[in-house]
Copies of this chain bind each other. A is one copy, B any other.
Amino acid sequence: MKATAKAHTNIALIKYWGKRDESLILPMNNSLSLTLDVFYTTTTVTFREELFQDEFLLNEQVIRGEQYNRVAAFLDFIRRETQATSLHAEVRSTNHVPTAAGFASSASGFAALAAATTRALDLSISDQELSRLTRLGSGSACRSIFGGFVEWHKGTEKDGSDSYAVQVQPAEDWDVRVAAVVLSETTKKISSREGMKRTVDTSVFYPGWLKSIPRDLEQIKDGINQRDFEKVGSISEANCLRMHATTLGANPPFTYWHDATLRVMQGVQAMRERGISVFFTIDAGPNVKVLYLPEDETIVQEMLRQIPGVHDVIVSRSGQGVTYL
């Protein structure tokens, strides 16, 4: 009744942006990510007779409120769906994130939680099934079950039974790097969840966004298969710009960008003009992630650190999927 799992976070190159079902966390479009080596969560789940309710400790701190509720709701869901136990669990998680500044840990967190929980209950399920379960905790977490390049199939079923991630290419096949550029100022007035919803509900550009996805996916998967970094990078960058454009067409309009975000974007474009193959992507927040190849690591790090408003640059390789400790 006890198990420990480790899961990495992931960065979307084709963004998950909009839900077709809020409660089942079913996306409007397929997305594609790269699992990152450097950010991970380890979680131990122990089901115990003596507990009257679930307990959640994160980095040795007892968690209550909203964050606790999401974990407990997820455990409830697994108990209900699997009928494997009626016991409550103690959940002990550690986030291994090199900085506290603005990185979402919900992807690695829910992937590790789902893996440890199902292992503790001795359920024999496939990774695909595990990904589907994980999705109910946090949408993008379903991609963190796998390493390397991963695609989340939106599925078409109303109950979400065909909405899960699959691996496109394992981490060891291609050494693509990501520099996470942490800005000094990372305030965010609108949460990802709220921004996504407002965009789907009101943006005049949302139909254009959806229409552009199938071609992006087809091309980026070609690029991954061919190890064509220019192709993978330029499609990722264009896809992120399109995602951020949709927020400018929402009502009321908004943007996640800060002035330093734009400086990093322009710094990346300037490096490209100097012949360095480097591309950016940006999630629903001001920080920027930069894609590059191993031979450019030193120059990319150096140049990013020189940009005013950059607080830290954390480099990462492509990471593995869920493992059990």
Contacts and interface: CB of A to CB of B under 8 A. Distances in A.
Interface of A: 203-209, 211-212, 234, 237-238, 241-242, 244-246, 248-249, 251-253, 255, 257-263, 266
Nearest to A262: B259
A249 B245 contact: yes
Q: 3 closest pairs, A vs B, by CB?
A: A245-B248, A245-B245, A204-B208
Nearest to A257: B262
Q: Determine the main DSSP class of A at the interface with B.
A: helix
A83 to B, nearest CB: 46
Given A204-B242, A205-B242, A208-B249, 12 more contacts: A205-B245, A205-B249, A212-B249, A238-B251, A241-B253, A242-B253, A245-B245, A245-B246, A245-B248, A245-B249, A258-B266, A261-B262
A262 B251 contact: no
Contacts of A248: 241-242, 244-245, 248
Given A204-B211, A209-B204, A253 B238 contact: yes
A182 B246 CA distance: 27
A6 to B, nearest CB: 37
A249 B259 CA distance: 20
Contacts of A208: 203-208, 249
Contacts of A244: 248
Contacts of A257: 262
A240 to B, nearest CB: 9
Contacts of A263: 259
27 contacts: A203-B208, A204-B205, A204-B209, A204-B211, A204-B212, A205-B205, A205-B245, A207-B208, A208-B208, A208-B249, A234-B252, A238-B251, A238-B252, A238-B253, A241-B249, A242-B248, A242-B249, A242-B253, A245-B246, A245-B249, A248-B248, A257-B262, A258-B262, A259-B260, A259-B266, A261-B262, A262-B262
Nearest to A258: B262
A252 B269 CA distance: 13
A203 to B, nearest CB: 8
A114 to B, nearest CB: 35
Contacts of A249: 205, 208, 212, 241-242, 245
Nearest to A203: B208
**Most chain B beta-carbon contacts within 10 A, residue among A257, A259, A263:** A259
A249 B203 CA distance: 14
Contacts of A251: 238
A258 B259 CA distance: 8
Contacts of A203: 208
Contacts of A209: 204
A177 B248 CA distance: 25
Contacts of A204: 205, 208-209, 211-212, 242
A263 B257 CA distance: 10
A250 to B, nearest CB: 9
